[in-house]
Amino acid sequence: MWTLEYHENVFFLQEKDKTKDLPFTIGIQTPLQIVWLLEFGHNGTLSMDGTFGTNVQRYHLFTLMVFDHHRQDLMIAWVITNQQTKMDFI
């Protein structure tokens, strides 16, 4: 499984569990993205953008971004999930 080979890039993993009504969710972040988060995310602006209905599996892709000193966006993480509700992001 990809998550075992690249475990250092996975900051969150929740397997889908129909009995508990839990969606599949994975958070991915590279070491460089952690540096950007710490450098520009502290006391800065955090933004999130999502894509919907772009694949046949109906997975949602969320991109988390911060902004550098030149107001250029830097992607600091991705979250992929098969369900999107308000409670999933609290």
Q: In what order do the strands lie in the sheet with 73-81?
A: 10-14, 25-28, 73-81, 60-67, 46-51
Q: What is the pLDDT of residue 88?
A: 52
- Which residues, given as ranges, of the chain have pLDDT below 70? 84-90
Q: What is the pLDDT of residue 87?
A: 52
Q: What is the pLDDT of residue 52?
A: 74
Q: What is the pLDDT of residue 78?
A: 95
Q: What is the pLDDT of residue 90?
A: 46
